Amino acid sequence: MSDIPPDLARLRSSIDNIDAALVHLLAERFKATQQVGELKAAVGLPPADPAREERQIARLRGLAHEAGLDPQFAEKFITFVIAEVIRHHEALASVEPGAAPTAGEPAATPAPSAPPVTCTTGPVDVPGGTPPRG
Amino acid sequence: MSDIPPDLARLRSSIDNIDAALVHLLAERFKATQQVGELKAAVGLPPADPAREERQIARLRGLAHEAGLDPQFAEKFITFVIAEVIRHHEALASVEPGAAPTAGEPAATPAPSAPPVTCTTGPVDVPGGTPPRG
């Protein structure tokens, strides 16, 4: 470990800084989505909003393209994050007093049109690439 | 869509800003890891470095905890990103002239101790559930 090339050490140091920034931004993002979840549960809005998610994905694919990031990866990334958010929202909807009429159900079954992402260890398989939604 | 509560619109606007920042940071991160991949391929270092990845995960779990982000999510996130990076490195290693002696092999089989993340749609299973971040 101590004999890595200096260029590699320099790059890794930058990657570590970027990762720290990413983690802090994700923390802020979840603070915001936590509020969204509470608001949705209070007014009885469903945890998932497929139309909003489609717009988010399309926008981020565009931003990724401009920034030189693989748009397919950007889509996988935001889908990954949104799945976690919906899981939180569902948990909130199942306990919040003003939740949807059939409280409890949303937490048990994910919104059909926005299936959450399950991440497991194993060989990467992106069958024929992710079908672009947007 | 036009009758969403103002508070929800405000929060979504912040989330969109954060997402744009995340995408741009990820673009920078992949620029750095692209260089790492080229460097590794040139000097014959393996695409994956399990010891480095363990350190990254431990560090980011700590940062997440301090920032109020679920450390388990932070770990899933960085594992997700690293899996994509390794995929890129393997592709580089298989074409780079100075690649590892058994060029081709690393691209076919992921490093055993750092299994990449596979994301599929389906019910979310987070063993043990995610403890609330606080």
Question: What is the ipTM for the molecules in this complex?
Answer: 0.71
What does the domain layout of chain B look like in residue ranges?
Answer: 33-108
State the pLDDT at residue B88.
86
Pick the CATH number of A16-108 from 2.40.30.20, 1.20.59.10, 3.40.50.300, 3.60.15.10: 1.20.59.10
Q: Under DSSP, is residue B118 helix (H, G, I), strand (E, B) or coil?
A: strand
- Asked if A119 lies within 8 A of B119 by C-beta distance, the reply is yes
C-alpha to C-alpha distance for B23 and A28, rounded to whole angstroms? 15
* Under 8 Å between Cβ of B100 and B62: no
State the pLDDT at residue B134.
38
C-alpha to C-alpha distance for A90 and A102, rounded to whole angstroms? 12
- In sequence order, which ranges of B3-133 are alpha helices (DSSP H)? 6-43, 50-67, 71-93, 105-108
- Asked if B36 lies within 8 A of A122 by C-beta distance, the reply is no
- Both tokens of residue B105? 């092999």
Q: Under DSSP, is residue A42 helix (H, G, I), strand (E, B) or coil?
A: helix
State the pLDDT at residue A45.
92
Looking at residue A100, its amino acid is: A
Residue from the list A8, A23, A119 with its beta carbon closest to the beta carbon of B118: A119
Mean residue pLDDT of chain A comes to: 77
What are the pLDDT digits (tens) for B63-104?
999 999 999 999 999 999 999 998 888 888 887 554 443 333
Confidence of residue B11 (pLDDT cuts 50, 70, 90): very high
CA of B92 vs chain A CAs: smallest distance (Å): 16
CATH 3.30.460.10 at B33-108, yes or no: no
Q: What is the pTM for the complete model shown?
A: 0.71
What are the pLDDT digits (tens) for B48-66?
899 999 999 999 999 999 9
